[in-house]
Amino acid sequence: MPGYTITQTDAAAARPTGHKRAFIIAGARGADGRGRDLYVRDGVLVDTAPPGAERLDADGLIVLPGLVDPHTHLREPGSTAAETLTSGTAAAARGGFTAVLAMPNTIPPTHGPAEVDWMVRRAVWTPARAQVVPVGAVTHERGGKQLADIEGMARRGVRVFSDDGFCVMDPRIMRQALATVALFDGVIAQHSQDERIAPPEACCPDEALAERLGLPVWPSVAESTIVARDVQLAAEAGAHLHVCHVSCPETVEIIRWAKKRGIRVTAEVTPHHLLLSTDKLATGDTTYRVNPPLRPAADIEVLRAALADGTIDMVGTDHAPHTAQVKNRPMPQARPGMTGLEQALGVVVETMVLSGRMTWTDVARVMSAAPAALAHLTTQGRPLFPGEPANLVLVDPARRHVVDRDDTASRSRNNPYHGRLLPDPVQLTMRGGMITYTRDARG
Ligand code: DOR
C-alpha cells in the first residue's frame, strides 16, 4: 500500500526498556536435541562469550525461541479488574511468551489508529513483559456493519484484524475486509460462529447433555459453515484468512480442502480444546464456559492430529481472563472464556509431545515461528542464531506440578486447569536480552 511504513509495534519492541546484561546460557539443548551454549549481549545473540557475562546454568534444559501467542485478551483499556497490560504480559512471560497479539475487544475497541497508538505507548510505559502486538478490529465498534479504518491501522503496522468475540456475520463486509487486507498482505482472523445458529447464550455442543442441563445448543455447523464461506471469500480476494480457535472436525476438513487448493488459510487451536472435553460442562462450573465450547473426546483427537499434520498451523491461547462477578452467573449468561497463557506450553507438552505426536522442533513452529509469521513480526519466532534477538525460553521437559489458580500473575482466576497435574516446563523467559520471568524469582 502506498505510504505504508515499517511496523511501529516492532520498533516499540526493539526499544530498550531497562538495563541489559550479558549472559552465557550454558548446557542447554536446542529443540533439535543438540547441545550448545548461547551468548547474549545487548539484547542479541552473539557468537562468543561476552566479557563479564552472567552464567545461567541450563543443564538438562531445552532452549526454544520465545513463544508468540496469536490470540490474547489483555482487557485494557476497559476491563482492568480482569487484566491489564502489566498483569497479562507478566502471565505471558510466566508462560514462556515473548510476544502476544492483543485482541481488540477492549473498551473502546482497537478500531482505529488512535487506539493502536495508545496500546503501543501503553506497552512501553507499563512496561510490558512481552511485546504487545495490537490486533485491529475488522468493523467499527466491532459492530459488524461498517469497516473499521483498516488502512489507517495498517499504516501503524497492524497486520492482523479480527472482531473476535463476535463473528463478522455479513458476507459483504467480510468480502470487503478481505479485499482491503489483500492490498497490504494483511490477515482477517475470524471468530467463526454463525450467531443465528449459535446465539450468544449457546454454550453446549452436545444435544443430549444440553437437554439434560437445560442449556442452549452450540452445534458445530455454526462454526464450520462460516469457515466454508470464508475460505471461498478469501480465495476470491487472494487474501489471507486465519481461523481462530478451531474446535470441530468439520472445520478441520474444510481447512484441509482449502489448503490443498492453495487458498491462503491458516488456523489455530487453543490449549483447552486440545485437552478438555464437553463433560466438564456437566460439572456446572462456569469456568468451563468458552466460545467455541469444549467438544467431545473424539473431536479432541481430530484437533490433535490436525495440529500434528500441519492442517492447523499454530496454538493460540485465547487467554480470556474474567472476574468472578461475570463468571458467577447461570451457565448461559456467564461470560465465555478461560485463562491460558501460563499453562499453554504445559498443555501442549502433555497432549502433543509426551504422547509422541510432536517433537520440540514442532513445538517451536506451532508456538513461535508460525504465529510470528502470521503477524509479520521480524524480531520474534526466529531461530536462535548469532545476530538474532535474544527472545527465548528455557524449558524443563520433566517438571510437573498441580496447577493452582491462585499461583498466577493474571488478575483473574478462571483457570480451567486448577487442581490438574500438568507439565510445568517454563524455567526462564528472556525478551530482547532481558529476563522477564525466572522460576527462581517466582514470588
Ligand atoms: O470464550 C471466549 N472468550 N471466546 C472468545 O472468542 C472471546 C473471549 C473473550 O473475550 O472473553
> In this model, does residue 327 exceed pLDDT 80?
yes
Between the CA atoms of 287, 288, 292 and 293, what dihedral angle is there, to the nearest 10 degrees?
-160
| CA–CA distance, 101 with 135 (Å, rounded to integer) | 6
Which residues are the active-site residues?
A: 318
Q: pLDDT tens digit string along 150-198?
A: 999 999 999 999 999 999 999 999 999 999 999 999 999 999 999 999 9
Indicate which residue's Cα is closest to atom 4 of ligand 1.
291
Q: What distance in angstroms lies between residue 360's CA and the mean position of ligand 1's atoms?
A: 29
Residues in the chain: 443
Ligand 1 nearest-atom number relative to CA 322: 11
Contact 159, 375 (CB under 8 A): yes
Contact 363, 32 (CB under 8 A): no
> In this model, does residue 149 exceed pLDDT 70?
yes
Q: What distance in angstroms lies between residue 105's CA and the mean position of ligand 1's atoms?
A: 9
Distance from the first to the final alpha carbon of the chain: 47
Which pTM was predicted? 0.95
Strands (E) across 73-127 are located at 97-102
Q: pLDDT tens digit string along 395-423?
A: 999 999 999 999 999 999 999 999 999 99
| CA–CA distance, 188 with 427 (Å, rounded to integer) | 34
Q: Give residues with Cβ within 8 angstroms of 38, minimum separation 6.
A: 23, 24, 25, 28, 45, 63, 384, 390, 392
Give the relative orientation of helices 113-125 and 85-94 as an angle to the nearest 10 degrees.
60
pLDDT for position 442: 58
Residue 284, classified by CB atoms within 10 Å of its CB into exposed (0-12), middle (13-18) or buried (19+), is exposed
For the range 246-249, what are the long-range contacts, defined as Cβ-Cβ under 8 Å and sequence gap of 24 or more?
A: 246/273, 246/303, 246/306, 246/312, 247/220, 247/223, 247/273, 247/292, 247/293, 247/295, 247/299, 247/303, 248/205, 248/220, 248/223, 248/224, 248/292, 248/295, 248/299, 248/302, 249/220, 249/298, 249/299, 249/302
Mutate to test the pocket of ligand 1, among 83, 290, 338 (most ligand atoms within 8 A of CB): 290
Contact 335, 200 (CB under 8 A): no
> In this model, does residue 8 exceed pLDDT 90?
no
pLDDT for position 21: 85
Q: What distance in angstroms lies between residue 156's CA and the mean position of ligand 1's atoms?
A: 25
Ligand 1 nearest-atom number relative to CA 289: 1
DSSP 8-class letter at 139? B
Indicate which residue's Cα is closest to atom 1 of ligand 1.
337
Residue 413 vs residue 13, higher pLDDT: 413
Write out the three cell numbers for 209: 447433555
Q: Give residues with Cβ within 8 angstroms of 19, minimum separation 6.
A: none
CA angle 248/251/255 to nearest 5° reads 140
DSSP 8-class letter at 136? B
Amino acid identity of residue 217, one-letter, is: V
Mutate to test the pocket of ligand 1, among 105, 106, 192 (most ligand atoms within 8 A of CB): 105
Indicate which residue's Cα is closest to atom 3 of ligand 1.
337
CA angle 342/133/412 to nearest 5° reads 35
Nearest to 124 by CA among 7, 11, 40, 4: 11
| CA–CA distance, 229 with 244 (Å, rounded to integer) | 15
Ligand 1 nearest-atom number relative to CA 245: 6
pLDDT for position 313: 99
Indicate which residue's Cα is closest to atom 7 of ligand 1.
165
Q: What distance in angstroms lies between residue 339's CA and the mean position of ligand 1's atoms?
A: 10
pLDDT for position 36: 85
> In this model, does residue 1 exceed pLDDT 70?
no
